[in-house]
Amino acid sequence: MKQAERERRHQQNLQRIQHVQQLVGVGDRTRIDHEGTLIEQARMLEEEICSHRATEAGLAALARLLRLLEEGMSRHLRETAAFVTAVRDGTPLPLHVLRGPDAETADDMLAVLDAFRHGRVSLLEHVEGGAKRVARALEKARQRCG
Which residues form the domain of 127? 3-145
Mean pLDDT value of segment 37-46: 89
Residue 87: the pLDDT is 93
Residue 144: the pLDDT is 83
How many structural domains compose the chain? 1
Q: Identify the band that residue 1 occupies on the pLDDT scale cut at 50, 70 and 90.
A: low
* Distance (Å, whole) CA 135 – CA 37: 46
Per cent of the chain over pLDDT 90 is 51
Residue 106: the pLDDT is 93
* Distance (Å, whole) CA 139 – CA 108: 20
Quickly list DSSP for 79-105.
HHHHHHHHHHHT----THHHHSS-HHH
Per cent of the chain over pLDDT 70 is 99
Helices (H) and strands (E) in the chain, counts: 7, 2
* Distance (Å, whole) CA 58 – CA 76: 19
pLDDT at 115 over 90: yes
Q: Identify the band that residue 146 occupies on the pLDDT scale cut at 50, 70 and 90.
A: low
Per mean pLDDT, which range of 34-48, 78-92, 104-118 is the poorest? 34-48
- AA identity, residue 65: L
On the 0-12 / 13-18 / 19+ scale of CB atoms within 10 A, 99 is: exposed
Per mean pLDDT, which range of 11-15, 32-36, 90-94, 115-119 is the poorest? 32-36
